[in-house]
Amino acid sequence: MFLLIIIFITGSIVLFCLAVIPLVQEIIVSLEKKKEKTVAVEFDRLFYDKSPKEIIRLYFILPPLLGLLGLIIFKSIIVLVGGVLVGLFIPNLTLKMRNVQRRHKFNNQILNAIMILSSSLKGGLSLLQALEVVAEEMPPPLSQEIGLVVRENKMGVTLEDGLKHLNDRMQMEELTLVLNSIMVARGTGGDLTKVFSRLTTTIRDNRKLKDSIRTLTLQGKMQGTIMSVLPFLFVWWVMTFNRQHFDIMLQSELGRMLIFAAAALQIIGMVLIRKFSTVRI
């Protein structure tokens, strides 16, 4: 009788697995296809020529792998959950870091591109021809974005619309300034070479000002970071010598209120220091 029960339970488990596993596989494949489309769009925007399946594999491999490693090493469910969340976060972080690096590199190339445009216009080329020169002479990523503007123009998109598309893709302050100046000068018949000369001076002065502000506010940011970390280090240091040191605070209602007030004031202080040491221009 006991053997029949075991056979019945085993058979039920096998049938359940045979019914559930194809459904789970179908759900995973559907999720992979949806995620692959999203990542493919991001890859196209970054001009990244590799297959999105490389990143997609990370979405499905890293979470269980890091979760199991955390469970095996630390034997904690909390670490298991944390490992899964970190595994889900790493692929997105990879794409964001690549995007940030690309935007930073693009921003550093703007001044050189302006000088090439100005030299080309002085040589008698049209604005579109000058953009073609920039696409040929400059390295990626600026050459890729300007090349896309040129290709859009050849396919029938007006140059103004192509520049607007570039602005929408990059969304950078200095690029917006350059593109708006170009479109205003083309609309009013202004001299683009003079516009580019003024833009070069303006962008350089703006960057010098930002560097000066960053240097002047660095001390305040460091002080804020140190003052934010000190209370936690103090608590850790005291707890290593006497774990019951804060029991009198935790056991009374007044003590718990004081701890809550101290934590709230600490958070408010961190926010205010961060806000006071940030200058926007």
Residues 217-242 pLDDT 10s: 777 778 777 877 888 888 888 878 77
Q: Is the pLDDT of residue 54 over 80?
A: no
Q: What is the pLDDT of residues 20-44, one digit of tens each?
A: 566 655 666 666 667 667 767 777 7
Residue found by looking up tokens 């008698």 in the block: 124
Query: Which two structure tokens, joined as six digits, stand for 132?
Result: 């073609």
Contact predicate 164/145, CB 8 Å: no
Q: What is the pLDDT of residues 169-200, one digit of tens each?
A: 888 989 999 999 898 888 887 788 899 989 99
DSSP state of 54: H
CA 151 to chain centre: 28
Q: What is the pLDDT of residues 242-272, one digit of tens each?
A: 777 777 777 788 888 888 888 888 888 878 8
